[in-house]
Each structure stands twice: as C-alpha cells, then as structure tokens.
C-alpha cells in the first residue's frame, strides 16, 4: 500500500508520501508484463476507470467515486493509470467500499512518480511502475483491464479508449459527464471496425453492472 495525503475533494492529491509506509511494487521493465500477467490471472474481473486528470467538476468527481464503489461492490478490482482527477476519485470510492486498487504509473520509480509526474501514491494497494511514460503506460494499463469505464476525458482518455476498442475491451461511458467520452460510440461506428460494444449510462451503478454482466 502506498500512503500519503489524500488531497482535496477535487481529486488533486497532495503528494507527500511517507517513505517508510510506502509499499509499492517496483518491477523492472524486463519482468513487468510477465509478473503482472501471473498476478492478474488469479484475480476477479478487473475494470479500469479512465477520464480527465484535471479540472474535474465536483459533480463529475462525485460520479467517478460512485463508479469506483460500484466496481468494488460488483466484486471486481479497480485499475487506473495512477493519476489525478477522475481516476483518483474512482480510487477514493473503491477504498471507501473496502476494495482492491491497482495503479499503473508512467514512472519508473516512486521517486519519479512523485517528483517528476507529481502523482498520488495514497490509497493504492499496488503501484506498478512501468517506466514507459504516459502513452506506453496506457497500453499496459488498458491491456490489463477486462473492461473500462470512461468519465469525461480529454486526449489522453481518447488514447486509452482507442487501445481498449482495438484490444476488444468492453467500454462503458458515463453520460452527461462531458469531455471527449461523449463521442466514443460515434467514433467507434465511424471507424467501421468491428469491436466491442460501447455502453452508455447515466447512473454509475447501473452502468458498472451492465459492464460486469458483459464480462460474466
């Protein structure tokens, strides 16, 4: 578990980790994928949350927390890109429900995660330091998910969605959350590429339930 200050309600965590309390998985690039694969095969369904990393409205932050709680209450595990904003709010919700949270960091170490990227370390049960930067992190993160749920989002979220669609991961989109995720279904149709269904929903609990039903 990684520990630190949880930050404000906006999801922008205050990065101030206490090194003696931080227990994160530091894996080298050579062993990362195989090690995570062995760990993941014995898990419950793994649902990733993607979305805006900054400037998240309080209403949207609350919805993201509901998504995180619903994932845990659906007997699944929450995966995120170990970032701020929407995904961090989902982690908060998951931990409130007593769930397991896994973060995939763009950094190669805890020092880089905190110092260079200024990302939170608290509330995660496992941090995987990919060392691949944001775009490389996105590939490993999304491919480790069985499905993803999008809340709002900008260009980084669009990148994660295209990976999910290409990799056949069912995607849920929370309606009325704003951002680029509102257009994901249209983009999938325009691409004329056969892929998984893009499921829309207004209620976070029902949306997550529909995604989990697809997986089961």
Q: What average pLDDT is seen over the chain? A: 84
pLDDT per residue as tens digits for the range 72-108: 999 999 999 999 999 999 999 999 999 999 999 999 9
Across the range 176-198, mean pLDDT stands at: 83
pLDDT per residue as tens digits for the range 33-73: 444 555 555 568 999 999 999 889 999 999 999 999 999 99
Residue 4 resides in a domain: no
At residue 181, φ and ψ (nearest 5 deg) are: -60, -25
pLDDT band at 189 (very low <50, low <70, confident <90, very high): confident
pLDDT at res. 180? 83
Whether 24 shows a pLDDT value over 50: the answer reads no
Contact between residue 170 and residue 45 where contact means Cβ atoms under 8 Å apart: no
Whether 9 shows a pLDDT value over 90: the answer reads no
162: containing domain: 19-215
pLDDT at res. 64? 97
pLDDT at res. 6? 37
- Of 169, 178, 175, 46, nearest to 104 by C-alpha is 46
Residue 9 resides in a domain: no
CATH number of the structural domain spanning residue 180: 3.40.50.450
pLDDT at res. 11? 45
Across the range 115-122, mean pLDDT stands at: 95
pTM: predicted TM-score of the whole model, two decimal places: 0.80
Residue 13 resides in a domain: no
d(C-alpha 83, C-alpha 94), whole Å: 15
**Total domains present in the chain:** 1
pLDDT band at 164 (very low <50, low <70, confident <90, very high): very high
Residue 7 resides in a domain: no
Residue 44 resides in a domain: yes
Determine what percent of the chain is predicted with pLDDT higher than 90: 67
Please work out, in degrees rounded to the nearest 5, the angle formed at the alpha carbon of residue 136 by the alpha carbons of 87 and 27. Answer: 85
pLDDT at res. 41? 59
pLDDT at res. 192? 76
Contact between residue 108 and residue 129 where contact means Cβ atoms under 8 Å apart: yes
- Of 189, 89, 59, nearest to 149 by C-alpha is 89
The number of beta carbons lying within 10 Å of the beta carbon of residue 185 is 15
Residue 1 resides in a domain: no
Across the range 163-191, mean pLDDT stands at: 88
């Amino acid at each position: 578990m990684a520990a630190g200050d949880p930050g404000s309600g906006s999801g922008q965590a205050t990065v101030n980790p206490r090194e003696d309390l931080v227990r994160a998985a530091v894996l080298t690039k050579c062993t990362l994928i195989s090690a995570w694969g062995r760990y993941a095969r014995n898990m419950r369904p793994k649902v990733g949350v993607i979305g805006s990393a900054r400037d998240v409205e309080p209403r949207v932050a609350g919805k993201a927390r509901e998504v995180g709680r619903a994932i845990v209450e659906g007997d699944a595990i929450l995966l995120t890109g170990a970032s701020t904003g929407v995904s961090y709010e989902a982690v908060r919700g998951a931990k409130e429900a007593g769930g397991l949270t896994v973060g995939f960091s763009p950094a190669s170490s805890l020092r880089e995660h905190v110092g260079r990227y200024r990302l939170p370390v608290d509330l995660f049960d496992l941090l995987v330091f990919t060392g691949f930067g944001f775009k490389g992190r996105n590939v490993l993160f999304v491919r480790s998910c069985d499905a993803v749920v999008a809340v709002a989002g900008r260009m980084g979220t669009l990148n994660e969605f295209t990976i999910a669609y290409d990799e056949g991961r069912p995607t849920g989109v929370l309606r009325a959350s704003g951002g680029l995720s509102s257009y994901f279904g249209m983009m999938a149709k325009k691409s004329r590429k056969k892929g998984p269904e893009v499921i829309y929903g207004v209620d976070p609990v029902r949306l997550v339930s529909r995604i989990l039903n697809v997986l089961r």
